[in-house]
Structures are given as structure tokens and as C-alpha cells.
Structure 1
Amino acid sequence: MDISIWVWAATIGGLLLVLAFDLWIVDRGEPREFTMRQAGFWVGFYVALAVIFGIGIGLFGGGTAMGQFFAGYLTEYSLSVDNLFIFYLIMSRFAVPKMYQHKVLLIGILMALVMRGVFIALGSAALTRFSWLFYVFGAFLIYTAIGIIRSHNKPDDDLNENAVLRWVRRTLPTTPDYVGSKITTRIDGKRYVTPMLIVMIAIGTTDLLFALDSIPAIFGLTTDAFIVFTANAFALMGLRQLYFLLGGLLQRLVYISYGLAFILGFIGVKLILEALSSSGVSWAPHVPIWVSLSVIGGTMVITTVASLIKARRDARKDKEVAAPASAQQG
């Protein structure tokens, strides 16, 4: 789509206003735990906002642009579920009090949104000048999909810190405990950072690393920088509410990684086929956006339902095993 600078400015301004409203409503007053009711309301609000925005794109940009937005949004939102599991591990490792977790997620996601904006701009410019990058992106997505499957049974505590986080922990003096929601504090005249800042950096930089998968994935669905950015923005904005809504359900989505691997592999193959077709290869088919949308949506539904069925069966087996043991103790 041909988007003017004024539309870009209005869109970014609108997104910032929504985030500011979110921050003012949710985080005003004393820190408190995020309730399921709050999480459900805000997840529904952001999903509805994304749907309205997608329909608006369809009205002004046509059905293809609308389909690309929804396919990109679904892809980014699906990948975000996998991100949330890593966020859960980070929160557990740093023992973040529940009343401060939504603030940590908000700041980390804002950092990621800014960094992804830069990443998208660079990627869009690079793809415009170097069309062979589509082959690189496609191969990278297929490689990532294989890596996800291989690491599916990786222990939960095997969470490696990235280079930025290691540098911060090594360089900056840090307090041993949290000081409310403060990110810095002064002790005996010396400035210290608190674990709160470390967690925020961990969340933000980890999400940036996830962008190495998600940005190429959405560029496999559309090369329109406006659609890529807005799909990412809407997926990220509702991420912290989704974290609290899913809660313990994250541990039960055992097959979600397989679904994400399939989606990434599918988009990787699609990217390579599209590049071949653009190069004049006659046998390379064009994959319509409605096929991509169907594959992405169908895969997530199937893997989610299969995960919940397995979790229910496992819970039933645990009860059957526990029942004889309880009877013997009695």
C-alpha cells in the first residue's frame, strides 16, 4: 500500500495513545496483582482493536492487504505465545513479585516495540534492494523450525542469558533484593540498579531475539512495511494481558512448539517459492494469502486443542496413580 507520512504518524500516535491509556488505567495507584478479569477484558479489547484496524485496511487497501494483515497478526500472535513461556521462565528465575509483573512486561514490550520498528525498517529497505534475501530468510525460517522441534524437550531451567544481559549484570552494581518497583536506588550515596531493571532488560532483549524469527516470518507473508509494523505492534500490545490470562495454561500447551515450527517451516517454503516465481521459474507456484491464513489459523487451533486434550489425559492418569497411594496411606 502507498502510505503517506501523515498516515504513519497518525497510526504511531494512535498506538502510543492506546498504550498510554492502558498504562494510566492499569498501573495507576499502588502496585497490585493483575486479575484474570482485567486480563480477559484487555485481551479482548486489543484483539477487537486489531480486528477493527484490519477491516479498516481492507476498506482502504483492499482484500489482499486485509488478508496480509490478519495473516501477519495471527503469525505474530502465535509466536508470542511461545515468547510468553520464556517470559514465564524469566519471571520465575528472577522471582518477580506478582504485583510488579505487569509493569515489567509493559516496559520490556515497549523496548521491544521500538527495537522491532528499527528492525522492520532495515529489513524492508534491504529486501527492496536485495531480492536474494528472500532465499536467506526462507532458509533461516526452515532452519529455525527444525531447531524448535529439536529443542522441544529441552529442560525448562536451561535458559541462557544473552550477551546484553550478561554485560549489564557484570558491569552495573545491583541490589540483592527488589526495592518496590524502582529500577534504581541510592544506598550510602552510591547509585545501584535493582533486579527490576535486569528483568526488564531480559524481557526486552529476549523479545528482540525472537524478532529474528518473527520478522522474517511476516515478511514471508507481505513486504509492506506498514502492515508488518502494525501487525507486530498489535500482537505486542496485548502480550502482557495474554500472559496473565493464560497463567498456568502455558505449561499445558505442550504441542504449541510443533505448531509454531510447522508455521515457520511453511512460511519459509512459501518465501523460497515466491522468490523462485519472481525469478521466472515456471513450476514455482504462488501461494495465495487465504491459504497462508488458513494454514496459520488451522495449525494453532489444532495444536492448542491437542495440547489441552493431552493435559486433561495426563491429569486423569495422575489422579488414577495417586488414588491407590492415598488408599494405602489411609
Structure 2
Amino acid sequence: MGLAPALNAVPGHEVIHWWNWVLLAIIILGLLIIDFRGHVRKAHEPSIKEAAIWSGIYMTIAAAFGLVVWLQWDLNLAVQYWAGWITEWSLSLDNLFVFIIILNGFNVPRLYQQKVIMLGIVISMVLRLGFILIGAALISKFAWIFYLFGLFLIYTAISQAREGVTKEDEAESGQGYQENRFTSLVRRVLPVSEGFREAKLLYRHRGKTYVTPMFLVIVAIGSADLMFAFDSIPAIFGLTSHPFIVFAATAFSLMGLRQLFFLVDGLLERLAFLHYGLALILGFIGVKLIIHAAHEAPFWGIDKWAHSIPEPSIGFSMGYIVIVLLVTALASIWYSKRKSRI
């Protein structure tokens, strides 16, 4: 069984045709072109007002796409999309911590940070599409793969809880950034220019071509996005098994990431309990995946108790995720205000 069935089969729903994928690609490419030509091409630091307006626009577009899914197919598939989008969006906040650490670590000028984030988003979409297609193909062949996804998410949830709020101090100072092996390899193999050359990725000097620190920053963010994909893709597959919905939710969660960066930059330290909230969400989805796997591919006697444990519905899952995020945000605001008074 190849990728074609994985791309088209929707258990209990109409088949999603190839032209649905084409329309989705056109929408995403159109938004990327508007974003690049209207904002990124001219180097500037977005104001809070600009970031807030465009964040609102992208969130509205993302939410509205769920209505399109509802009208085209049904409400259940739309709720799967909304739940996946909200989950991916919340996980993207964690991405922003790392983005800030990397940008501060490389001392990227504020004027050029938009371009770095934009190119990082494009790289992330390409990488995640590959992971989604691979994940869909594996799921269509091996139901037990959900056990691995579930255990990995539970492990990730524990790691998130252990991190606590330590990333806040790292994000402020930039001292938390250490080049990964891939970025260090690129630095050793390719000649790097001294200092930034505006927003250029390549620099020609005295007959020799150099990569700029801007190029290294994009490599660092792209490789960091690769690690994020290992967390986010299993998480959303725990909410919906269709690759079209998975990619749509992932893509729309990433589209507003550039604006969100400039909107919440400087405010992230107030989200003191973000990692705990993400841990609760990832842990819940991990348990949900294991229960699903126990129903679909029981082994070691798991089938004896699997059917006695109902799998959480998509409506319950979405409600749980929204409540956890609201409680996390309110608790963080309360803690931040209390801390400022001390």
C-alpha cells in the first residue's frame, strides 16, 4: 500500500480528491507570496499594531478553513482540523522560544529577523509535509505505530514538564543557544563571511563566495524545525489520521508564526506555565494514541482491557486542549502580576 491510499482515504468520509490538495497548495503559496512581497521584502521591524492585525488576519483565515472543511465534508472532520490547528498553534509558541534563542545567539539585526523566520517557515512546511506523508504511509500499513507515537509523546510531555520555565531566562540572554552538529558542520565545510551583509545569504568578495551568518541562522532554524516535527506530527496524528487535514492544520498554524513572533516577543516570559500546559496536552494525546492502538492492534493481552477503556472523542479532545490552554494562560497572567508586585 503506497502513499496514494494514504493521501485519499478518509475512513467514514468522502474521498479527498487531488484538486483539494491543489487548492490548498494555491492558498498557502498565495499567502506566502503576499507575506513575502508585502512585508518581508522590505526590511523593517514590525510594530505591535502591524503584528497584531496580521496575526488576527491569519488566525481568522485558519479558523475559516475549518468552515470550508465542514461545508465540503462534515462537522466531525472540521472539528478534527480545528483541534489539530489549535494544538499545532500552541506547540508553535514553544518554537518561538527557540527562535528567540537562536536569533539572540547569532545577534541577528532586528531589521532582518522577519526574513529569517519567513524562510524558516517555508523550510518547516517542506519538512513536515515529508513527515506527514511518511507517517500516513506507516499508519496505513502498521496500526501498532500508534504505540510508538503515544510513548514518544508521553516522553516528550515529561521532558516539557522538566523544562518548566528555564527557557525564559535563555530566551532573554541568548546564552542558551548552542550550535547543533549540523550547523557546526556547515560552518566548518563552507567559508563564512565576517558579520552580516544586510539580509544576503551569499557574499562575493575578491573572487571567492562566502555564506553569511544569515545563512547559518536559517540552517540553525531549519534543523531546529526538523526536531519540532518529531513532536508535532505524532501529536496531530493523535487527533486526525488524514494527511490532508494534518497538513492543512500544520500549515495554517505556521503561516502566522512570523507575525506572532513580533507580537509576543518580550511577552513570552509571562507565559510561565506554558511548558506545563504543553506537557498536559502532549501527555493526553499520547495516552489517547495508546488507547487507540490498543483497540486497533492489541498485543500482550492488551485486548483484554482495551475495549473497556473508551477512546476520547475528538470533541472531548478539542475541549480538553482549549481548557488546558485557557487555564495555562490565566495562571501565567496571575503569576506574572503577582511576581511583578514582589
**TM-score by shorter chain over 0.5:** yes
**Which of the numbers 127, 147, 152 marks the counterpart of 1:140?**
152
Q: Please state if 1:239 is matched with 2:257.
A: yes
TM-aligned CA deviation for residue 304 of structure 1? 1.2
TM-aligned CA deviation for residue 38 of structure 1? 1.3
Return the alpha-carbon distance in structure 1 between the equivalents of residues 54 and 161 of structure 2.
32
Match of 1:33 in 2: 45
Match of 2:21 in 1: 8
Identity %: 44
Unaligned runs of 5+ in 1: 318-330
Structure 1 stretch displaced more, 151-160 or 17-26: 151-160
After TM superposition, list the pairs within 5 Å mapping 1:165-244 onto structure 2. Answer: 165-244=183-262
Structure 1 stretch displaced more, 241-250 or 156-165: 156-165
TM-aligned CA deviation for residue 274 of structure 1? 1.2
Match of 1:68 in 2: 80
For 2:95, the aligned partner's letter is N
After TM superposition, list the pairs within 5 Å mapping 1:25-174 onto structure 2. Answer: 25-29=38-42, 31-152=43-164, 154=166, 156=170, 157-174=175-192
Unaligned runs of 5+ in 2: 1-9, 298-302
Q: Please state if 1:301 is matched with 2:319.
A: no
Contact persistence 2:165–2:275 (CA under 8 A): no
1:201-238 CA distance string (max 9 Å, x none): 11111112111000000000010000000000000111
Contact persistence 1:32–1:100 (CA under 8 A): yes
Contact persistence 2:143–2:296 (CA under 8 A): no
Match of 1:283 in 2: 308
Return the alpha-carbon distance in structure 1 between the equivalents of residues 322 and 225 of structure 2.
22
Q: Secondary structure at the match of 1:248?
A: coil
TM-aligned CA deviation for residue 266 of structure 1? 0.2
1:272-299 CA distance string (max 9 Å, x none): 1111122453212121111110111111
1:289-313 CA distance string (max 9 Å, x none): 1111011111111111111111111
TM-aligned CA deviation for residue 154 of structure 1? 4.2
> Structure 2-normalised TM-score?
0.90
**Which of the numbers 282, 292, 301 marks the counterpart of 1:264?**
282
For 1:75, the aligned partner's letter is T
Q: Secondary structure at the match of 1:191?
A: strand
Aligned length: 316
Return the alpha-carbon distance in structure 2 between the equivalents of residues 199 and 224 of structure 1.
33
Match of 2:268 in 1: 250
Return the alpha-carbon distance in structure 2 between the equivalents of residues 307 and 231 of structure 1.
26
> Structure 1-normalised TM-score?
0.93
- Following TM superposition, the consecutive aligned residue runs of length 4 or more in structure 1 with deviations greater than 6 angstroms are none
Contact persistence 1:144–1:213 (CA under 8 A): yes
